[in-house]
Amino acid sequence: MSESARKFVVGMILFLSAGAVVGWLYDEVVMGLLVAALIALAWQASRLLSFERALRTGNFEQFRVGEGIWEQIFSRFRFERERAVRRKKNYRMLLREIRKSTNAMPDGAVILDANNEIIACNRAAKELAGLKRKKDRGQRVDNILRDPELIRLLQSGDHKSTIEMMSPVRDGEWLDCRVVPYGGDQKLLLLRDVTERIRLSKMRRDFVANASHELRSPLTVINGYLDSLIDDESIPATWQKPVAQMRRQAARMRQILSEMLELSRLESAGAVKSDEPVDVPELLESCRQAFEGHSKVANVTIDAQSTAELRANKAEIETVIVNLLSNAIRYTPEDGEITMTWRSDGEGADLIVADTGEGIDPEYIPRLTERFFRVDKSRGRDDGGIGLGLAIVKHVLARHDAELVVTSESGHGSEFRCRFPAERVVVEPPVPLAGGA
């Protein structure tokens, strides 16, 4: 108990005792006690009302000095109030600093609630995406930024991926968007200007495409001359071997150029245009036949477990199969087995090319789809591998919302599985039973 509370209790006891003593003098102890209690109550009630008035008017003059309980209550109240004011001031300063620093950030940041409604955003979000701090507060961000990819990202709950979208307010500029969880069920939409990166990668793509295109014409001329030289019996015998080698290398250059062109075409092409139902087992069979008759080729079997069709660009899917099958053939010995499987389930379909060949060391698997990546660099030059095949496969699959899953064990073969989502799979309607209702 504090000193003032102790004084208050002692004073009350003394006052009530005095009342009892006066009552005793008149032979009315209880009455004396009661009168004293009433007087004490009236006094405290009047102090309480004065304090309430002081709270309303802010005039605490009568409570400023003194040792009584009410003066102590006022002193405590004043201390707490000043502390609250100090805290509020500090918080306001902190908030101002936070706002200043988020406004100085070059990246846009938008705080969203669980329904993707805007709670707050910084200045960069306004400049990059045209969001207005006050006007758009409480609006759903996907009603303002209507990019389908962004809408998909917001709905997916995927906090790792990023998407690129055109800036809705700056012509020709690109934004990289990412959603990260924030607070309880809030989210932070981060927007970054990546126009320069996109411009540079387009420049690189254009350069590769133009250079490959330009190199094709002179190479065709060289090829033509080499083709006629190889058949020319009048050339000296010492030249025959070099000419044959030149012809092989020229053919290889032609293959590199056409794969580079194919890759840049896939990179700059938009979404897949011609979506047709593709009979995958039939395509697997025609690709298998294309390799038939080649010497030293392992046995290739087709395991068609599903009759479902694939909604895709047939030529591009054929490119995928040819690349995977030619790799399987290249890296599997003659006595090995290659199996191409087509299967579907409720969640999608798999096109699998598996072999019992040399396999791949696990450390190299994540790098397989990099351009010009070859596990054994010295090998490719002789057997035609240049390291672009799987990069092309990856691009084609991405254009079909599919992904490539590679599993392999060094020395025990590999499996390349192309996983297509259910939206791309056309399952045949069940044939009605004869005579059925």
Give the residues lining the site for ligand ADP (CB under 6 A).
Answer: 323, 327-328, 331, 355, 357-358, 360, 368, 373-376, 380, 385-391, 414
CA 117 to chain centre: 19
CA dihedral of residues 122, 125, 127, 131 (deg, nearest 10): -100
CB of 407 to ligand ADP, least distance (A): 11
Give 187 or 395: the residue with its C-beta nearer to ligand ADP: 395
**What is the rounded distance in angstroms from the CA atom of residue 11 to the CA atom of residue 16?**
9
CB of 271 to ligand ADP, least distance (A): 24
**What is the rounded distance in angstroms from the CA atom of residue 188 to the CA atom of residue 159?**
10
Give the long-range contacts of residues 142-151, CB within 8 A, separation 24 or more. Answer: 142/116, 144/118, 150/177
For 140, which DSSP code?
B
CB of 394 to ligand ADP, least distance (A): 9
CB of 315 to ligand ADP, least distance (A): 18
Distances (CA, A) of 131 to 51, 189, 405: 50, 12, 40
Q: Determine the Cα angle at 19 with ends 15 and 23, to 5°.
A: 170
CB of 336 to ligand ADP, least distance (A): 10
CB of 298 to ligand ADP, least distance (A): 11
Give 277 or 380: the residue with its C-beta nearer to ligand ADP: 380
Alpha helices in 385-436 (DSSP H): 389-399
Give 198 or 365: the residue with its C-beta nearer to ligand ADP: 365
Give 195 or 255: the residue with its C-beta nearer to ligand ADP: 255
SS3 percent helix, strand, coil of the chain, rounded to 5, is 55, 20, 30
